[in-house]
Amino acid sequence: MKFFLLAFWLVTGHNVLAQTTAPFDASTWTIVGKMEKETFQGKEGIRLTGGAIYLKDSTFMNGIIEFDMTLSRNRYFPGFGFRIQDNENFEHIYLRPHQLGNPDAIQYMPVFNRQEAWQLYYGDGYSTAVTYPLDEWVHIRLVVLGTQAEVYVGDQSKPALVIHQLKRAAKPGKISLDNGAPIVTRYANFQYTKTDNPTLLGTYKQAAPAKPGTIMSWHISNTFDEKRLDNDYTIPQDLAKQATWNTLPAENTGVVNLSQISKLREGLNTVFAKVTLLSDKPQIKKLQLGFSDRAKVYCNGRLLYSGQDVFMSRDYRFLGTIGYFDDIYLDLKKGKNELWIAVSETFGGWGIQGIIADQSGLTIE
């Protein structure tokens, strides 16, 4: 692999910083899709469509990534990945040029098992409004250290997006530039710096504590076909007997990103998330529920609720983002109660969150 070091070195304590440029050729990048070299507005770079290019250096963890790119006002999602472990597991940042100035004009999301998660992670720390000129070169700069990162767009002196907490474990990996659409995106002047002492200028927030009553751990089953639950008001016994389980903790928001342990495949698009509710008497408890994309709620084997929060299911502006939109009243018996929720996914984020605010006389396992 052939890299070219720029003619400066910086020394910070015991950390030597080397800014490295990576020419756009097959000796430096693995090319998936269509990459063509081009000079545009005086800059030598590439046109990238229908795929991605992956830097062969797999040792980037902390430091700086920067490059120039051009975007057009089309509905597409060009961007870049970093700390790439393989083609299915990485951190990802992308832009939505068709949403310039809107709260989701730029997006961070973690990718587990190749499953996107923008419906689970949105708002402060994940997406924000940004503007930039179209069909002109725009400079993009990422600074990342540990679980924090920030993205600069254009000539801004402050970060456009501050990522308070990256969701994947901090491990070294590759870098990618990507554009899966047939719409042209150009890249030029790519360079990166590996350092454990980059300067972060953003204002970082600690995660807010979980709301009282948040269910902080779920037992997650193996995947199965959503159709197995059609035309029945109880959980099929053979499906229940064949289930295998893993425990997955929730984030402070209550969100459990199911893609961390479940891979979405055709015909395998559903898991059960379950908890056991130990009640000291017969009583009714309210469950506040959030999910993406579809859910069926069973209490002691009987179906209580079925709903969907699919992309554009409410109106043409609804993104399918997860939230505590539904309340379900659980009729609990004294003793052990099984709460099973089947969560099915199409795209955009596979998740569940739940709150039982009043837990008097109740233990959740």
**What is the tens place of the pLDDT at every residue in 247-274?**
999 999 999 999 999 999 999 999 999 9
Which uninterrupted H or E stretch holds 319?
none
pLDDT exceeds 50 at position 3: no
Over its C-alpha atoms, the chain yields an Rg (Å, rounded) of 23
At 185-203, the pLDDT tens digits run 999 999 999 999 999 999 9
Instruction: Return d(Cα 205, Cα 312) in angstroms, integer.
Output: 31
- Percent of the chain as helix, strand, coil, to the nearest 5: 5, 50, 45
Count of all residues that appear for the chain in the document: 365
What pLDDT does 75 receive?
94
**Contact indicator for 341, 273 with CB cutoff of 8 Å:** yes
Cα dihedral sign, 98-102-108-112: negative
Tell me the three state secondary structure of residue 175: strand
| Reported confidence tier of residue 317, pLDDT bands at 50, 70, 90 | confident
CA dihedral of 77, 81, 84, 90, whole degrees rounded to 10: -60
What pLDDT does 17 receive?
59
CB atoms within 10 A of CB 115: 23
Nearest to 122 by CA among 348, 343, 356: 348
What pLDDT does 149 receive?
98
Instruction: Return d(Cα 220, Cα 86) in angstroms, integer.
Output: 24
At 38-51, the pLDDT tens digits run 999 999 999 999 99
Which uninterrupted H or E stretch holds 153?
strand 148-153
At 86-100, the pLDDT tens digits run 999 999 999 999 999
Over residues 277-301, the mean pLDDT reads 98
Domains in the chain (CATH in brackets) are 20-194 (2.60.120.560), 214-364 (2.60.120)
pLDDT exceeds 50 at position 9: no
- Counting residues of the chain whose pLDDT is more than 70, the rounded percentage is 95
At 10-39, the pLDDT tens digits run 333 334 457 899 999 999 999 999 999 999
**Contact indicator for 69, 185 with CB cutoff of 8 Å:** yes
The pair of structure tokens assigned to 52 is 């991605």
Q: Residue 296 class from Cβ within 10 Å (0-12 exposed, 13-18 middle, 19+ buried)?
A: buried
**Contact indicator for 270, 226 with CB cutoff of 8 Å:** yes
Averaged pLDDT of the chain: 93
Q: Residue 283 class from Cβ within 10 Å (0-12 exposed, 13-18 middle, 19+ buried)?
A: middle
- Which residues pair with residue 340 across a beta bridge? 274, 298
Buried b (16+ CB within 10 A) or exposed e, 327-342: ebebebeeeebebbbb
Residue the block writes with tokens 């995947």: 223
> Can you give the pTM of this predicted structure?
0.92
Q: Is residue 293 reached through a cis peptide bond, with omega within 30 degrees of 0 on the bond before it?
A: yes
Over residues 72-95, the mean pLDDT reads 96
What pLDDT does 231 receive?
87
Instruction: Return d(Cα 198, Cα 188) in angstroms, integer.
Output: 23
